[in-house]
Amino acid sequence: MEVRHGRELNETRDRLERWRVKQAREAFRTGDQWSELTARLSVKEVSAFLAAECQIPRRDVARFVRLAKVLGADRELYIEKGVAVSVLLDLAGQDEAVRSEALRMIRSGRSLQSKELRALKRDISLERAAAEGALDRTRIRDLRNIAVRKARAGVDAWLASLEKVVNAAHDVSEFDMLKGNTLTMAPKKIDRLAIKAAKLVEELPALVGREFAKAPVPDRPRSGKSPGSWPEVFATLRAMAKRRMFIEHRYERPETTVMDFDPHIVAQLAWAFGYDGCTDGDKARDRMREAGSVPLATQPGPEPTPFDRRNKPTVLEICAGAGGQALGLHAAGFSHAGLVEIDGDAAATLKHNRPSWPVLNADLRGLDLSHLKGVDLLAGGVPCQSFSAAGMRLGANDERDLFPEALRLVRELRPRAVMLENVTGALHVGNAVNRLRILSALASLGYDAEWRVIDGSEFGLPQKRRRSVLVGFQQGIMHRFRWPVAIGTPAPTVGEALFDLMSANGWEHAGEWGERANGLAPTLIGGSQRKKGIDLAQEKSRQAWMKIAVNPNGRALEAPGPGVPADHNPKLTLEMMARIQDFPEWWSFKGSPQQAFRQIANAFPPRMAFAVGASIMRALTGREIDLPAALLKPLAEPEKVPSEFARKFSMEARRQSAQRE
């Protein structure tokens, strides 16, 4: 038995040795690739490429670069010995003396560990300092470490004393409720409490400094949230040291005065230990968010408490179109701080359907939006023709490319998150360099960003609509973001999605058509203002439409009526196109039929925007949602706008009420 186990262990060792050799060789090849790429592209662009599209951690990018440069001369030895990639990357960042000693150790047969490099660096530095007669900096470090430990011990002792004061104050408060007037019935307890509080106040400056210990108490109203702060804790202790711990109550019958112990004292002191006076989970999470912390839920919980209107994360949407993306982001919990759209008809569509939204009909180029600095999310479907096949994939060379304007707004407004949607052509090989420049620009602005393709059919859309989406966050947020995954249930076919509309005029063969239309629609293509006429497809996708029994050449004014043959392939009405694009039934489009078609077909469907928006919302707030369950519900309802009569009536009622007062 032992012999058999020994053979298994030997086989495992040999297999892992071969794997380590292979990994070491590939690590050096990655470094070589860097050198080749930087001969043609900038360092920032290649760094963005390795981090965003090759999934190499950002901290490792520079280390791979050094790997090829500083260890290249001895690469065959490192490969032969199968040195772990983590050790190679750490070694590449060391100075020449450490690298030389490590190389000798590896050549001797040592299996070097990364933690040994740090100790090696320390000891070699000591030898160098001794040889040069330099000062021993470790003595300063040792003193600092001792000072930190002593300070921590002092704070821990002070907090332990504070905890005793909190418990004593709680006992006095309980005594007050049971026995009545605390000031006259428990004077010794009050004296001891004041002495302990005075001692804590006296010890404070040595621990935190006089400025922090005497910081002014923030002027915040008392509420159910039980606000607190360290200055408030310190102020409470100072008041207790002066025996200001009571609230005077006067009663007329019988005429008497009672001094009650201040019930706020315990809550104000207990705040220091994390107690906020409320165990409600949603309120506790809100308090953490207000303080700048984000509790991250990993499983969907009960229906979350809706955001207060004032606390809703805000979004500035550029190139807003007819509102498909806006509907999805609004359903995900964002409040629109602004929607910018250059097309007058699309802007009119937004204003008509959502009068409360701040819509700006303007050209984005050079537009001053500085009043929106600090918005939570910058989102938009920047013009896609410059990245599409129909647009010749001109990318940055296309006058319609508005990515530079989007980056300008990121630089000026500093949003916490960015979401830019485009056609999948943005990820085409011909647009790789321009894509990397965008990632590089975001990285230089301090944003972590990724580019992925999502498919609308994976989220219940009856259409094979694949879009590329760029999502970025200020540093420190990306770790909470994950891309939405398919909900796991099949999307409805075109026949299932449109049957009621196709049979609305009494076509007796609508059911048979529905069986023939048993697939997903190809991507609706709206095109730019240069496109004339209405057709659903380019040449490549025309046959795909015919396979699901739909004529893509133009549009129908209405659904087929009685007497239309069973083998008829109908055209789609604008209403049918809007449903395929997931617009709600009540959403109406302004402008000519040509303009309405363009607004519908160019939209980012609401449920796709909702899926990505919900993932961004989770990263910003930590709130998890059940995406499949959420997509079963209507994402939007018509906005209830009072009639002109109702508005006038309300104004007159307020005027009369003011007169009476």
More confident residue, 215 or 572: 572
- Local confidence band at 385 (pLDDT 50, 70, 90 cut-offs): very low
Does the annotation mark 278 as catalytic? no
Look-up: residue for tokens 């058509």? 513
Q: Is the pLDDT of residue 652 over 60?
A: no
- Residue 32 inside a domain? The answer is yes
Residues 329 and 476 occupy one common structural domain: yes
Judged by average pLDDT, the poorest of 171-185, 238-252, 286-300, 535-549 is 171-185
Order the strands of the 335-341 sheet from edge to edge.
359-361, 335-341, 314-318, 377-380, 417-423, 466-474, 447-455
The predicted structure's pLDDT at residue 297: 81
The predicted structure's pLDDT at residue 142: 84
DSSP category for residue 362 = S
Residues 249 and 339 occupy one common structural domain: no
Residues 62 and 197 occupy one common structural domain: no
Q: Looking at 132, 161, 181, which one is the last position of a domain?
A: 132
Q: Is the pLDDT of residue 396 over 60?
A: no
Residues 115 and 163 occupy one common structural domain: no
- Residue 556 inside a domain? The answer is yes
- Local confidence band at 387 (pLDDT 50, 70, 90 cut-offs): low
Residues 189 and 123 occupy one common structural domain: no
pTM exceeding 0.85: no
pLDDT one-digit tens code per residue, 320-368: 999 999 999 999 999 999 999 999 999 999 999 999 999 999 999 999 9
Domain extent for 10: 2-132
Task: Report the alpha-carbon distance of residue 606 to residue 273 in Å, rounded.
Answer: 44
Q: Looking at 273, 299, 326, which one is the last position of a domain?
A: 273
The predicted structure's pLDDT at residue 227: 58
Question: Per-residue DSSP letters for 20-66?
Answer: HHHHHHHHHHHHHHHHHHHTTS-HHHHHHHHHHTS---HHHHHHHHH
More confident residue, 82 or 173: 82
The predicted structure's pLDDT at residue 392: 45
The structural domain count of the chain equals 3
DSSP category for residue 598 = H
- Local confidence band at 416 (pLDDT 50, 70, 90 cut-offs): very high
SS3 474: strand
**CATH number of 491's domain:** 3.40.50.150
Count how many Cα atoms sit within 13 Å of the Cα of residue 13 in the half-sphere of its side chain. Answer: 6
Residues 235 and 210 occupy one common structural domain: yes
Q: Is the pLDDT of residue 605 over 50?
A: yes
- Residue 301 inside a domain? The answer is no
- Residue 219 inside a domain? The answer is yes
pLDDT one-digit tens code per residue, 456-481: 999 999 999 999 999 999 999 999 99
The predicted structure's pLDDT at residue 649: 41
The predicted structure's pLDDT at residue 316: 97
- Local confidence band at 646 (pLDDT 50, 70, 90 cut-offs): very low
Residues 45 and 153 occupy one common structural domain: no
Q: Is the pLDDT of residue 225 over 50?
A: no
Maximum mean pLDDT: which of 13-27, 435-449, 569-583: 569-583
Judged by average pLDDT, the poorest of 129-143, 384-398, 581-595 is 384-398
The predicted structure's pLDDT at residue 480: 92
- Local confidence band at 650 (pLDDT 50, 70, 90 cut-offs): very low
Residues 178 and 79 occupy one common structural domain: no
Of these residues, 54, 278, 319, 384, which one is catalytic?
384
Residues 153 and 123 occupy one common structural domain: no
Q: Looking at 132, 158, 192, which one is the last position of a domain?
A: 132
Taken in order 63, 67, 68, 69, the sign of the CA dihedral is positive
pLDDT one-digit tens code per residue, 166-203: 998 888 877 655 455 555 556 788 888 999 999 999 99
Residues 90 and 177 occupy one common structural domain: no
Q: Is the pLDDT of residue 304 over 80?
A: no
Q: Is the pLDDT of residue 253 over 50?
A: yes
Residues 269 and 231 occupy one common structural domain: yes
Judged by average pLDDT, the poorest of 41-55, 89-103, 440-454 is 41-55
The predicted structure's pLDDT at residue 658: 54
Q: Show the DSSP H helices in 242-339 as ranges.
A: 264-270, 281-290, 324-331
More confident residue, 616 or 114: 616
- Residue 140 inside a domain? The answer is no
pLDDT one-digit tens code per residue, 434-461: 888 898 899 999 999 998 999 999 999 9
- Residue 433 inside a domain? The answer is yes
The predicted structure's pLDDT at residue 397: 43
Task: Report the alpha-carbon distance of residue 20 to residue 217 in Å, rounded.
Answer: 60
Residue type, 589: F
Task: Provide the percentage of residues in the chain whose pLDDT is more than 90.
Answer: 45
Q: Return the H-helix or E-strand segment holding 421.
A: strand 417-423
- Local confidence band at 602 (pLDDT 50, 70, 90 cut-offs): very high
- Local confidence band at 46 (pLDDT 50, 70, 90 cut-offs): confident
- Residue 287 inside a domain? The answer is no
Judged by average pLDDT, the poorest of 191-205, 455-469, 550-564, 629-643 is 629-643
Q: Is the pLDDT of residue 81 over 80?
A: yes
Average model confidence (pLDDT) for the chain? Answer: 84
Residues 171 and 262 occupy one common structural domain: yes
Neighbours of 133 (CB within 10 A): 6
The predicted structure's pLDDT at residue 653: 46
- Residue 294 inside a domain? The answer is no
